Amino acid sequence: MYSNYYLLGIGGIGMSAIARYFKSLGCNVSGYDRTESPLTKQLESEGIEIHYEDRPDLIPFNTDNTFVVYTPAIPEDLKEFQFVKEHGYGICKRSRMLGVIAEGKDCLAISGTHGKTTTSTLLTHIMQTDEIGCSAFLGGISKNYNSNLVVSMSNVLVAEADEFDRSFLQLHPLIAVITAIDADHLDIYNDYAHVKEAFEAFAAQVHPEGAVIVKKGVEIDCSGIKAKVLRYSYDSPCDFYASDIVESDGGYYSFTINYPGGTVRDCKAGVPGWVNVENSIAAAAVALQYGAAPASVREAIASFKGVARRFDIRVNEKGCTYIDDYAHHPKELESAISSIREMFKGRRICGIFQPHLYTRTRDFADGFAAALSNLDELIMLPIYPARELPIEGVNSEMILDKVTIKDKMLVQKSELMDIIKSKKIDCLVTFGAGDIDHFVVPIENYLKECLKKY
């Protein structure tokens, strides 16, 4: 254990959980990020020093007692990154550090190209509701715990297993879930076959006495898996599935969970949308397989408040609804828009979408256009580049031109609030994994002020 931990890219959702973890152990924690954000402000309020200029002189100059954790999202030519490599600091990627933290623990890992954040956060809440308890490293801010980190004395660790950069291959879980295997991160994998291959390698690392729980319909070669392979589904009979599904006002669902040991009746999802029934089945499958009590599963599903930026209903008054969602892949957009259509039947849905990464825009322009064409109105923002440099000819117009609805436009971020204020809002949704989250509170506040006038 080192006294000082320094994080390059500390404002990332996974990095900030690592920062909070070492702070909870009493270590000195500091770091660098390119831009200030609500999350970095929160970290600073918790006593973590952060700066936003590439300045090696601000790194603790104690190579023997300072360990550096970095995200692969930082540029290779970052001066601070070069400095720590040249001066002999202990250093590793975020994914490796999570693997080290998970060693010796009963790791319950949630993987999948979408659905993993909500599922892992709900699993955490189930385990915390049960006497078993858990620690957790999450890819979003849990509304139940107001954090992406949960720390307890339990030997159980819930981890969101991220496929980006093959990060999840640092984990060797006792139980793992695979929610979906779609083509994504093709800048890393090149094609779908290599994405699938990585998930199969991850599944093969699950402990032989454990279980791999795969969504029914997801194709995976099980020949290399030593653990038991089980299936889950929304409502199709298999090892874990829902029945007696009833929708009530506001898109909330009640249902029965069917599992190899029996049933968990009278489950009521605390968050709306049919997709959260499916997430509940996946989370319950892991918890029940590990030994959580059915009563704890039922109680936690009902009291689950969701995850910030995951189908996050910010305003829901008569005639005015605003939802914020992290969707940044065509399948995620398709699922979210489908859930909104089902919940808010007959409403006019206006979506604001900020594409994330040039490579993802290039690779999935047709899929994005097809999903976004299910809206009534679309406002597109320019691409959020994240870790990438521009690619010639790749821009938001690649998607917008293929969207089939007539009511569509491309606007700059500086124009967005004025555009919103010029419209009669019925059901508004913000989508994206970039800095579109900076608009969430201003939009929410504006709409709430408008509602006060009526």
Q: Clarify whether residues 222 and 354 are in a common domain.
A: no
Does residue 250 form part of some domain?
yes
Q: Clarify whether residues 219 and 251 are in a common domain.
A: yes
pLDDT tens digits along 192-202: 899 999 999 99
Q: What is the mean pLDDT of the chain?
A: 95
**Cross-strand partners of 233:** 241
Q: Clarify whether residues 67 and 26 are in a common domain.
A: yes
Can you give the CATH number for the domain in which 39 is found? 3.40.50.720
Please give the pLDDT value at position 185. 73
pLDDT tens digits along 399-430: 999 999 999 999 999 999 999 999 999 999 99
Picking from 93, 120, 139, the residue at the C-terminal end of a domain is: 93
pLDDT beyond 80 at 56: yes
Residues 40 and 181: their CA atoms lie apart, in Å, by: 31
pLDDT tens digits along 327-350: 999 999 999 999 899 889 899 999
Can you give the CATH number for the domain in which 399 is found? 3.90.190.20
Please give the pLDDT value at position 1. 81
Show the CA angle centred on residue 35, arms to residues 78 and 390, nearest 5°: 65
pLDDT band at residue 59 using 50, 70 and 90 as cut-offs: very high
Picking from 259, 286, 303, the residue at the C-terminal end of a domain is: 303
pLDDT band at residue 67 using 50, 70 and 90 as cut-offs: very high
Does residue 110 form part of some domain?
yes
Q: Clarify whether residues 148 and 231 are in a common domain.
A: yes
pLDDT tens digits along 218-264: 999 999 999 999 999 999 999 999 999 999 888 899 999 999 999 99
pLDDT beyond 70 at 454: no
Q: Clarify whether residues 376 and 255 are in a common domain.
A: no
CB atoms within 10 A of CB 417: 13
CB atoms within 10 A of CB 120: 32
Q: Clarify whether residues 63 and 158 are in a common domain.
A: no
pLDDT beyond 80 at 438: yes
Please give the pLDDT value at position 172. 98
Query: Once rounded to an integer, what is the mean pLDDT over residues 46-57?
Result: 97
Residues 313 and 324: their CA atoms lie apart, in Å, by: 6
pLDDT tens digits along 351-401: 999 999 999 999 999 999 999 999 999 999 999 998 788 999 999 999 999
Q: Clarify whether residues 381 and 247 are in a common domain.
A: no
Does residue 395 form part of some domain?
yes
Does residue 272 form part of some domain?
yes
pLDDT tens digits along 282-315: 999 999 999 999 999 999 999 999 999 889 999 9
For residue 419, give its domain range: 312-452
Residues 59 and 170: their CA atoms lie apart, in Å, by: 27
Please give the pLDDT value at position 114. 87
Residues 104 and 405: their CA atoms lie apart, in Å, by: 53
- The closest of 67, 57, 5 to 30, measured between CA atoms, is 5
Q: Clarify whether residues 298 and 253 are in a common domain.
A: yes
Name the domain count of the chain: 3
Q: Clarify whether residues 342 and 388 are in a common domain.
A: yes
Does residue 382 form part of some domain?
yes
CB atoms within 10 A of CB 17: 23
Q: Clarify whether residues 218 and 319 are in a common domain.
A: no
Please give the pLDDT value at position 104. 95
pLDDT beyond 90 at 16: yes
pLDDT tens digits along 84-120: 999 999 999 999 999 999 999 999 999 999 899 999 9
Query: Once rounded to an integer, what is the mean pLDDT over residues 175-187?
Result: 87
The residue written with tokens 């070492």 in the block is 22
Q: Clarify whether residues 228 and 176 are in a common domain.
A: yes
As given in the structure block, the two tokens for residue 334 are 């398709």
Please report the sign of the dihedral spanned by the C-alpha atoms of residue 304, residue 309, residue 314, residue 319. negative
**Spatial contact of 378 and 407, defined as CB atoms under 8 Å apart:** yes
pLDDT tens digits along 122-168: 999 999 999 999 999 999 999 999 999 999 999 999 999 999 888 99
Does residue 98 form part of some domain?
no
Strands of 211-215's sheet in order across: 147-150, 135-142, 156-161, 106-111, 175-178, 211-215, 228-233, 240-247, 253-259, 262-268
Residues 341 and 363: their CA atoms lie apart, in Å, by: 27
Reported as type and span, the H/E element at residue 370 is helix 358-372
Query: At 341, is the secondary structure helix, strand, or coil?
Result: helix
Picking from 255, 279, 303, the residue at the C-terminal end of a domain is: 303
- The closest of 55, 58, 69, 64 to 23, measured between CA atoms, is 69
Q: Clarify whether residues 298 and 332 are in a common domain.
A: no
